Chain A
């Protein structure tokens, strides 16, 4: 028996809008004008929110958070393409997509200022899972959600996000394997932003692409320019169609760049050069999308200034709502340990409230 090749694989890369905003006419999804303008508005709003959150954090008005700047073209087109029954299973760099899906602007503000209220959706039917801080855990959740959707007779998919660092976790591989074996309607989006805190993509995996990790599980995949919202639109629609038609999971590698720090507690100067960042800024998603809109005769400087003023006002309003006094109880943690009633928690709640009174509601002295 001779030695012979038994399998060969290839990875496609998709770009529709180049860095100057020039569109490939053959690949252009030809979205209606109002959809394009809507997409740009979401990206502007997400960017504005991110910039404001950074200012608030630096002023001590917000806790640590992971900036999303530069990732707008990944989660926003994805969320716009998703149907109401699909599940949005995020990690923590998809604020834009969460807004599209229906989270209020105040949610990330509350969440990153230490309030669980930021996880509470206006309606659970929005099907957004909470931010997943522990890396990679959300991938098997998405597979379970997708399984349940099919089990319950829904024509829906679960779309999960993970970063380049997350692909090193066991849960990523285990989840994809389950998805494939179960032919679960899952779309996994690897938001490859080149950095996992200080670890560059090259030290995270020796694989040539992130996309090819899907091939090991028999899952079709596509590498996409993640700074190109139109390419992401094309890719997510293909992926959702694949998943919903019963063909099983699909993986998209969205190649982008973490323009900011990992979180506000991190200093990228310790591990990467400014030249690299400068180069990445030239490829960021909003510039090219705006150029594309202008080329289509939909956009000009005056419209851009008006839009920026409008989203600023929208963020201002959210910040005012966020900073307004709240009367949330201090003892809510006791309400949500179990769905059943337990005497020891009643006792401990009484003790807790007595201690808060003793301490006069002031910060306890932890030394």
Chain B
């Protein structure tokens, strides 16, 4: 058991999965010699050599396209998009092939591959380096979309993604890469994909979030618990596709109130889907409308202005109070 950052925890998962299974390999721009621009893949080249840790030419579509071919042949490629803002260049390969191969061949060809990408704002980065676009991938049937929130679940979920039989988009909240440490077990740990985690149980209101937004969400929950003496249930989705409908439904049926916190723009995002789910499964239990704290439907501004565009603990706390007081 060691206290690791998310960067170290993801590196640990990659190392252990590569040790466990010789069919696992890592490819992407600057992942080998440089160890990745965030150092996620540091040391892998030295441990596993250039045949399993590949610095590719600069071409996102070919990184995924070749990964699809490798996966068809039985390898388990873990490819990296350097930033999620560059991932759209591989969208054609992803939609047309990665998500469809299983259905197209009735399961004869499957694609056990992982696409890792850092996402999210708050790090004073250049354009295309700050977006939260998980909904784009989650909208595609056949894609699994995993968003860890801390070092321990990042490690366990990446191990699960690598062992998964289907394409997994693994979106890493870069704001949390080095923001805090957690105890991570030395022995391999795997968490199921598609299962949310109740990180704090409560009875008065349900708070749902994922990825980088878990930090301001938990901060707001603590603040309002202290201020109002209420009991707040906090759910960390961990995966948005598949979405753990049962955990959300059970919680909202119990509390009757729900606030969803999402970094991404509001429209057509996961919070829209969660609100619709609650409408379907828990409408008669609601004491208040489902509230959403989200990004705005604008092009992500450059970092000079981003501080007010990313949901913070203050906004979550205000939404919690309004929902409790409804």
Contacts and interface: CB of A to CB of B under 8 A. Distances in A.
Interface of A: 63-64, 111-116, 131, 133-136, 165-166, 168-171, 196-199, 203-205, 263, 265-266, 270-271, 330, 332-334, 336-337, 344-345, 348-349, 351-352, 355-356, 358-359, 363-367
Interface of B: 29-30, 33-35, 37, 55, 57-62, 85-86, 89, 122, 124-129, 175, 179, 212, 214-219, 266-267, 296-315, 318
A330 B218 contact: no
B58 A169 contact: yes
A112 B219 CA distance: 31
Contact of A364 (B55, B214, B308): B308
23 contacts: A112-B126, A113-B304, A114-B302, A135-B86, A165-B58, A168-B58, A169-B60, A197-B29, A198-B55, A199-B29, A199-B55, A203-B57, A265-B37, A266-B37, A359-B312, A364-B310, A364-B314, A365-B219, A365-B312, A366-B215, A366-B311, A367-B214, A367-B216
A196 B58 contact: yes
The 6 closest A-B pairs by CB, nearest first: A367-B215, A364-B312, A114-B304, A114-B303, A198-B34, A168-B57
Contacts of A136: 58
Contacts of A265: 37
A17 to B, nearest CB: 31
B281 to A, nearest CB: 26
A333 B212 CA distance: 22
Nearest to B214: A367
Given A263-B126, A270-B35, 16 more contacts: A133-B126, A196-B29, A198-B33, A198-B55, A199-B57, A203-B57, A271-B33, A271-B34, A345-B298, A355-B308, A364-B216, A364-B310, A365-B312, A367-B214, A367-B216, A367-B312
A229 B239 CA distance: 54
Contacts of B61: 170
Contact of A204 (B58, B311, B312): B58
B314 A365 contact: yes
B95 to A, nearest CB: 16
A63 B303 contact: yes
A135 B61 CA distance: 12
A92 to B, nearest CB: 9
A359 B314 CA distance: 7
Contacts of A205: 57
A364 B311 contact: yes
Contacts, number: 154
A64 B130 CA distance: 13
A62 B85 CA distance: 22
B30 to A, nearest CB: 5
Contacts of B126: 63-64, 112, 133, 263
Contacts of A359: 308, 312, 314-315
Given A366-B215, A367-B218, A114 B306 contact: yes
Contacts of B128: 133-134
A129 to B, nearest CB: 14
Contact of B302 (A115, A330, A334): A115
B125 A64 contact: yes
A135 B89 CA distance: 10
A334 B312 contact: no
A126 B28 CA distance: 38
A355 B315 contact: yes
Given A134-B86, A196-B58, A366 B298 contact: no
A260 to B, nearest CB: 16
A170 B175 contact: no
Nearest to A113: B304
A366 B122 contact: yes
Contacts of A134: 85-86, 89, 128
A36 B47 CA distance: 54
B64 to A, nearest CB: 12
B59 A363 contact: no
B266 A348 contact: yes
A114 B312 contact: no
A257 B310 CA distance: 38
Contact of B59 (A113, A168, A351): A168
Contacts of B311: 364, 366
Nearest to B315: A355
A180 to B, nearest CB: 21
A358 B310 contact: no
Contacts of A348: 266, 296-298
A50 to B, nearest CB: 17
B10 to A, nearest CB: 19
B219 A199 contact: no
A106 B296 CA distance: 29
B307 A364 contact: yes
A106 to B, nearest CB: 14
B305 A270 contact: no
